[in-house]
Amino acid sequence: MKMLNIFVVSLLLAACGQEEPVALNYPDSATVDHVDTYHGVDVADPYRWLENDIREDKDVSRWVESQNEVTFAYLATIPERERIKKRMTELWDFARYSLPSKKGGRYFFSNNDGLQNQSVVYTQAHLDADPRLLIDPNTWSDDGTVALAGYVPSNDGSHIAYLVQDGGSDWREAKVLDVASGETLDDRLEWLKFTGLSWAGDGSGFYYSRYPATSAEEKFQTLNKNMTVYFHKLGTSQDEDQVIYALPEQPDWNPRATVTDDGQHLIITISVGTDSRYSIAHQDLTDPGAKPVVIIDGFDYDYSLVGNIGNDLYFRTDDGAPNNRLIVIDAENPEPENWREIIAQATDVLDGVDLVGGRIIAEYMQDAWSVVKIFDLEGSQVGVVDLPGIGTASGFNGTADDPETFFSYSSFNTPGTISRLDVVTGEVYVIRQPAVAFNPDDYVVEQVFYESKDGTRVPMFISHLKSIVPDGNTPTMLYAYGGFNISLQPSYSTTRLAWMEMGGIYAVANLRGGGEYGAEWHIDDFIAAGEYLIEEGYTNSEKLSIFGGSNGGLLVGAVTNQRPELFAAAIPAVGVMDMLRFHQFTAGRFWTDDYGSSDDPEEFAALRAYSPYHNIKEGTEYPAILVTTADTDDRVVPGHSFKYAAAIQKAQAGAAPVLIRIETRAGHGAGVPTDKVIEDYADRWAFLVKNLDMRLPEGYGE
C-alpha cells in the first residue's frame, strides 16, 4: 500500500480582510481491489484496509493523523469557535450530583463540582452530614481518561465494588474499596464487559459476568463470545472465582446475575442480542446445594426483574402486553399457569417499575415524557408523583422495607433536580437543585406531532429560547436515535443548551424503532421530521442540520445519502456505517436482533439498500459533513467511520467540506473527561455555525 500523503488546509484572505472559502485538500485514502460475494452478489470494499486496528497498523495510524490535521486546521479558522468553547465552559461549571444510594444506613453518591474531568464518590451518615470522599478517579490518570464506570455498595455499606474504564473502552476492571478505611483492597478482576456487580446478601463477595481473556492484538476488535457468570469471594484472586453459570454449548448467549435485596434469590437473565427478550434462571440462595434452574425458557419476551417479597418474584414483561405489565412469579411454582398479574397493560408504556416501602412505583411514558404512579402490592393505584411538566423522572430505587427513595427530574431546559420521596405519605422535597448560569424560564419546550410518509403520527420535541421566533430561517438541529427500543425522553444537556443559547432550535424526533410507544414502533421517520420543520416555518434546507450518535449515526448517514439536498450539514457520530460487516466486530453480533444480518439473503438485500458506506454516490453534492469517532471505540469500531469518510470525501461533488474528527484516548462515549467533551462540542457547534451561516448573539462568549 502506498504511503499516505499529509495535506494541510490553506486559508486565503482577501485584501479587504473578508474570509473566502477554505480550500480543502483531503488526505490520500488509498483504495484496494477487495470484493466480497454475498449470495451471488459482488460488493466492492475499496477501503477495507481502514478496518485495521489503529494500534497495530501504521498506515491506518498515519491516515488518522492526516485526517485530524486537516479537520483541526479547518476548525481553527472559524472565529466563533473559541467564543463557543468559552461560553460552554461557563455553562458546564455547576455542581452535579447522582441519586443517593442507601446501604447499611449510609448514603453513597457521586458529585462533580463543575469542571472536574470525572465525578467523585462520597458517603455520608445522613443527608445533612458532611460527605466523606471515597473514590476520586481524577487521580487515576494525568489526562482524565481513566474513569469510574460504576460502583455498588454492599448491603451493609462496608464495601464498594467498582468498575474502572480505561481510555473509553468497553472493557472494565473491577476493584473493591473498604469504606471504613477508605483503602482499596488487593482484589482485581479483569476481562469484564457489559456486566453489573451484584453483592451476596452477607457481603462475602459478589457475582459478575466476564468474557475469556484474549490477546492484546485482538482485544479491541475480536467478537465477544462465551460470557460466563462467576462469584468472587473477597480477599481471593480472580483465578479462584467460582463458575456459577456457563453455557459453552451456546457461546452467543449472555448471562448476567442479580441478587435480590434480601439475599435469598439469584436471578440470571440470559440474552442473545440487544433485543429485550430473555430466558430466566433462578437459584435459591438459602439452599447451599441449589443450582440455577431455568424458569422461563426461550427468547420470546422481556422479563425484567423488579424485586421480590419472599418467594414472590416481581417482573415487568411485555408477554401478552406490548406496552408492558407487572406480574408475580412464585419461585417455588414458576410455571406460567401460576403467574399473577399485578398491574395490567395501559395505554402508556410502563417504562420502569420499582418495589419500595411496601409500594409499587410505576414509571410510564406518556407521549415520550414521564408520568409516575404509586400502587399498593395488589395493584390498586394509591397516588401520583407530581412533576413540573414535560420532562423525565428517573430513579425511585430502594428496598421493599424502606419507604425512602430518590428521583431526578430534568427537561431540555432543566438540569437534574434531585428529590426525596416517601412512598407511604407521598411527601416530596428537593434535596439538591443545580445552580446554573442561565435562566430555565428563558426557554420554551413544546411537543408537536407530525405525519410520516405512511400516515403515522409521530411526536417531536422542539426547544429554543423564548426570544427566538421561528421565521423559516432559524438554524435548527434535528436529533434522533430510533433503534434498539431506546426512547428519547426530555433531558438536560449542557451542549444542547449551549446550542439553543446560540440562537438555534433543538428538535428531537421520537422515531419508530425507539421504545416510546412499545414494541410496535418500528419505521424511520427522520426525513419526515425534517420536512415538517421546513413546511411549518421553523427553518429551511440551508439552515437545517442533523445529528445522531451510534445507531443515530447510522441514521444520519443513511438519510444524508437518500436526501442530501434536504440538509445543510450533518454530524454522524460513532455510527454503524457498514451494514454488511458490523456483526464481524466486538459487540456487533448482538445487533442482528435489530438490523438483521448480511448472512441472510433477504436481510442482505435490505441492509445493502440503506447501508451508509455502500450507498455513497460519486458526483453527488453532499451537505457539509463532520464525522466523529474515537480511536478506542470498541463497540462501534472506528473503521466504520474511517471507511465512510474516505468514500464520501472522494464522492463529494459540491463545495461543502467532508471532514472526520477522530478523538484519542476515548471510546463510544462513556467516561470521556469533561475537558475533551467541551473541546469536541465546541468543534461540532463551530462547524455548524460556519456551514449554516449562523450569526451568534451580540456579545456571546465574550
Sign of the Cα torsion 667, 670, 671, 673 reads: positive
Question: For the segment 17-27, what is each residue's pLDDT rounded down to a tens digit?
Answer: 334 455 689 99
How far, in whole angstroms, is CA 681 from its chain's centroid?
17
pLDDT for 484: 73
Question: For the segment 514-537, what is each residue's pLDDT rounded down to a tens digit?
Answer: 554 444 434 668 999 999 999 999
Angle at 575 between CA 569 and CA 579, to 5 degrees: 115
Of 159, 464, 614, 668, which residue is the catalytic one? 668
Q: Report how far residue 487's alpha carbon sits from residue 363's, in angstroms, rounded to the nearest whole number.
A: 13
Q: Report how far residue 437's alpha carbon sits from residue 15's, in angstroms, rounded to the nearest whole number.
A: 41
Placement of cell 469557535 in the chain: 81
H/E stretch holding 673: none
The number of CA neighbours under 13 Å toward the Cβ of 576 is 28
| SS3 state at 51 | helix
Contacts for 499 with CB less than 8 Å, ≥ 6 apart: 477, 506, 685
Work out the burial of residue 38: count CB atoms within 10 Å of its CB; fewer than 13 is exposed, 13-18 middle, 19 or more buried.
middle
pLDDT for 12: 27
Placement of cell 452535579 in the chain: 96
Placement of cell 453480533 in the chain: 589
Q: Using an 8 Å Cβ cutoff, are 308 and 315 in contact?
A: no
Q: Is 232 a catalytic residue?
A: no
Predicted TM-score (pTM) of this structure: 0.88
Q: Is 282 a catalytic residue?
A: no
Q: Give the CATH number of domain 35-90+438-691.
A: 3.40.50.1820
Q: Report how far residue 267's alpha carbon sits from residue 667's, in angstroms, rounded to the nearest whole number.
A: 31
- Same CATH fold assignment for domains 35-90+438-691 and 117-259: no
Beta bridge partner(s), residue 663 = 630
In order of 91, 127, 672, the CA distances from 139 in angstroms are: 24, 26, 15
pLDDT for 549: 92
In order of 208, 237, 421, the CA distances from 240 in angstroms are: 14, 6, 42
Each domain of the chain, given as residue ranges in start order, spans 35-90+438-691, 117-259
Q: Report how far residue 116's alpha carbon sits from residue 135's, in angstroms, rounded to the nearest whole number.
A: 13
| SS3 state at 335 | coil
**Helix residue ranges, H only, 77-227:** 80-92
Q: Report how far residue 662's alpha carbon sits from residue 411's, in angstroms, rounded to the nearest whole number.
A: 30
Of 271, 394, 550, 641, which residue is the catalytic one? 550
CATH class of residue range 117-259:
mainly beta
Residues of the chain with pLDDT under 70: 1-23, 514-524
The number of CA neighbours under 13 Å toward the Cβ of 693 is 10
Q: Using an 8 Å Cβ cutoff, are 568 and 544 in contact?
A: yes
Q: Using an 8 Å Cβ cutoff, are 166 and 666 in contact?
A: no
Placement of cell 442473545 in the chain: 272
In order of 413, 441, 601, the CA distances from 444 in angstroms are: 8, 8, 48
H/E stretch holding 102: strand 101-103
